[in-house]
Structure 1
Amino acid sequence: MYRNEQFNRWRRHPWHGLHARADGAPEDIVQVYIEMLPTDVVKYELDKGSGFLTVDRPQRTTSSPPALYGFIPRTYCAEEVANLCPDADEADGDPLDICVYSERLINRADIVLNARVVGGIQMIDDGEADDKIIAILDGDNIWGGARDIADLPDIKVERLQHYFSTYKMQPGKNINIKVDHVYGRDEALKVIAASEKDYHNHYGHLLQQKTE
């Protein structure tokens, strides 16, 4: 099951209280906290202070994410992630986003699942690196054999690119979003490692407090 240092009768914080990987998992299998579903037309986001899933905003358009959408616990996008994106001025200062494809319908968010990393999209949003890792639900009966981005139909990635390039659109307002660079498993693992290092650099003191 999911990694816990000890029994805790209180709900764990999805960002700080969970781990990026379950015990003994290979490096390409990560734990994911799901914030949004493909059916959602409201933008849900984790409140970083309380750990509760909150309504960020109703979407202005009919666009909805084409995959399960969430983040990898104990990751953070700061200096190390920005260093992997030369065209960005900085990173977005959030946990690392991840999109997970599942053949079977998952109809609720605020859950944790295991997913196999196959690639990612280097998104630059108003000068900020905001990578989107692409993964497959671990054990999925249709997509479970995928090991790299090339194992997925092109349309899977194209739909993600379209969603992230348009989901902030507003009439009369220009947006500056780039989603041109798609990368495979090896580069995705480097981005995850960089985000884990950023988390340790910025929030490692929280983990030290827990062990003292």
Structure 2
Amino acid sequence: MNDQQMNQLLKMAGHLFRPNPWHGVSTWSDQAEKEINAYIEIVPTDRVKYEIDKETGYLKVDRPQKFSNVIPALYGLIPRTYSAEKSAKYTMEQTGRDGLFGDADPIDICVLTEKTISHGDILVNCVPIGGFRMLDGGEVDDKIVAVLKDDAIFGEMKDISDCPESILNKLKHYFLTYKEIPAEGQKAKIEITGLYGREEALKIIDLGIEDYNDKFSTEWFVNKAND
């Protein structure tokens, strides 16, 4: 079974069963316009961190938020992406660092919108405008920044340079502090090495798609089905 046949099979299965949002949903909602689907796990009103269960595709509780860390945007993953060798190699080239590796997760995405969306476990159509190059220890953990398509406030933004600095600072502060445990005096080993624009974000997404295709071949899915 080739990739085209695999995509057709996934599409047919999606009409009968709920697809796993990571594996069963297309990355692009409109590839020509570079618009993507994003699966949203948590929203700014959440006081619990939800995360996709990679085996089943259901949303699960990862951990309660113990402190006042509030994500200032919709937050989730880009379907059919993965952070592994190619993503890590590119990041090492861009940063001059050695010994980095992908975090073995889908690429994360923040989606800006003026609307109050009350819960996650949804798909949204969005437009990437840039991202943060983030390292978590030695792991490559980029955060793509996008805007909800046709959003009344953010929808006209085409590049990260169009985004107010105050919003970017809020996102940056969240990611630099959300794993800290103040009561225990522990600081997370997270650093943001740079901010990049739309073209770079699309490059990161393309590398994530390549890493995904390298990891999750048709043979992998067949073997998984036979387990």
TM-score w.r.t. length of structure 2: 0.86
3-state SS, counterpart of residue 200 of structure 2: helix
1:11 aligned onto 2:18: yes
1:180 offset after TM fit, Å? 3.5
Which one has a larger percent helix, Structure 1 or Structure 2? 2
Match of 1:30 in 2: 36
Deviations 1:50-108 (A, max 9, x none): 11000001122111100000001000010111112123610111000000001111111
Q: Which amino acid aligns with 2:57?
A: G
1:173 offset after TM fit, Å? 1.4
Q: Which amino acid aligns with 2:81?
A: T
1:205 aligned onto 2:218: yes
Rounded to whole Å, the distance in 1 between the matches of 2:32 and 2:89 is 25
1:82 aligned onto 2:88: yes
3-state SS, counterpart of residue 15 of structure 2: coil
Residue in structure 2 matching 1:116, options 104, 109, 127: 127
Rounded to whole Å, the distance in 2 between the matches of 1:54 and 1:47 is 6
1:207 offset after TM fit, Å? 8.2
Match of 1:160 in 2: 171
Between the aligned residues of both structures, percent identity stands at 43
3-state SS, counterpart of residue 37 of structure 2: strand
CA RMSD of aligned residues (A): 1.9
Q: Which moved more, 1:81-90 or 1:183-192?
A: 81-90
Residue in structure 1 matching 2:144, options 124, 133, 137: 133
3-state SS, counterpart of residue 5 of structure 1: helix
1:39 offset after TM fit, Å? 1.1
1:130 offset after TM fit, Å? 0.2
1:46 aligned onto 2:42: no
Structure 2 residues not aligned, in runs of 5+: 1-7, 223-227
Rounded to whole Å, the distance in 2 between the matches of 1:135 and 1:154 is 15
TM-score w.r.t. length of structure 1: 0.92
1:27 offset after TM fit, Å? 4.9
Q: Which amino acid aligns with 1:96?
A: I
Q: In the superposition, relative to structure 1, how do residues 169 and 39 fare at CA in structure 2: closer, same or farther (>3 Å)?
A: same
Query: Looking at CA atoms only, which structure, 1 or 2, has the larger radius of gyration?
Result: 2
3-state SS, counterpart of residue 190 of structure 1: helix
Rounded to whole Å, the distance in 2 between the matches of 1:10 and 1:128 is 34
1:97 aligned onto 2:108: yes
1:70 aligned onto 2:83: no
Residue in structure 2 matching 1:176, options 177, 181, 189: 189
Number of aligned residue pairs: give it: 207
Structure 1 residues not aligned, in runs of 5+: none
1:149 offset after TM fit, Å? 0.1
3-state SS, counterpart of residue 84 of structure 1: helix
